[in-house]
Amino acid sequence: MTVNVVAIILIAAALALFLRVWTPWGERASGNIVSRQSLSLLGRLRMHGPAALALWLISLVLLIAGRIGPLTALIVTALLLLLLSLPVRYTMTSRGIRAAWTPFRRWTEFGGVARRRGGVRLQGVAGARPLTVWLSGGRDDDDFVLLLRQLVRGSYKGQLGPDASAPRTEAAVTPGAGPIGMAGAGG
C-alpha cells in the first residue's frame, strides 16, 4: 500500500479550516450575555468561501492531473460542505466576544471597530491580534456593528455593556427636557 502524501496534505488543509470555528482549547465565554448573533449561509460563505473554493479548485486540478484519487477529492468536498453547513454564532458578553467554539476574546484586546467588506474588523491593541466578525448581509447588520462599537468603547470607560451608562448628575437633568434629552423637545 502506498501513501499519497499530496492527498494527506490536502485533507489536512481541509481539516485545518475547521480551526476558524472550533478550537478545543482556550477560555470559555464569561460575563453577562449581551447578545447572540447567528451567521447566515451568506455570512458563512464570506467567512470560509475564498479558502474553501481555493482548496476545492486545487483538489479538482490534482484530480484531473492524476495526483490524487477520486476518493480524496470526494473527502475534501464533503469536509468543505460540512464546514459551510456548521452553524456559527457570535456570543457577545459584557466582557468580550466568542465566535462559534473559538476562545473568548476580551473587549479590552480591541482598540477600534472598522467596517470592511463582508464584515467588521476589531482592531487589536498592544500586540493583540485583530478579529474579523463576519456579517450576515441582513437588515440588522448596522445595529450589530453599532453594538460592537458600544461594547468596545464601553470597555475602556469601565462600563459592563451597552446599556450601562455614566451616572446621571443633577446638572445633566434639565427641566422640560424632551424624550431625547433636548431642552424644549417633545413633551
> In this predicted structure, what is the pLDDT of residue 98?
93
Please name which of 25, 78, 84, 27 lies closest in space to residue 51, comparing C-alpha atoms.
84
DSSP annotation of 17: G
CA atoms of 8 and 30, how far apart (whole Å):
38
Across the chain, mean pLDDT equals 83
pLDDT (average), residues 76-83: 97
| More confident of the two residues 97 and 181 | 97
Flag whether pLDDT at 156 surpasses 90: no
Query: Which residues neighbour 6 within 8 Å (Cβ) at sequence distance 6 or greater?
Result: 62, 67, 68
Check pLDDT > 80 for residue 19.
Answer: yes
Phi first, then psi, for residue 184 (nearest 5°) are: 85, 0
Digit-coded pLDDT (tens) for 20-67: 898 888 778 888 999 999 999 999 999 999 999 999 999 999 999 999
Q: Residue 160 carries which side chain, given as an amino acid letter?
A: L
Model pLDDT, residue 58: 97
Using pLDDT thresholds of 50, 70 and 90, give the confidence band for residue 2: low
C-alpha span between 22 and 45 (Å, rounded)? 16
pLDDT more than 70, % of the chain: 82
Tell which residue, 109, 89, 107, 104, has the closest CA to residue 162.
107
Q: What is the pLDDT of residue 171?
A: 38
Write phi, then psi, for 84 (nearest 5 degrees): -70, -25
Integer Cα distance of 132 and 98 in angstroms: 12
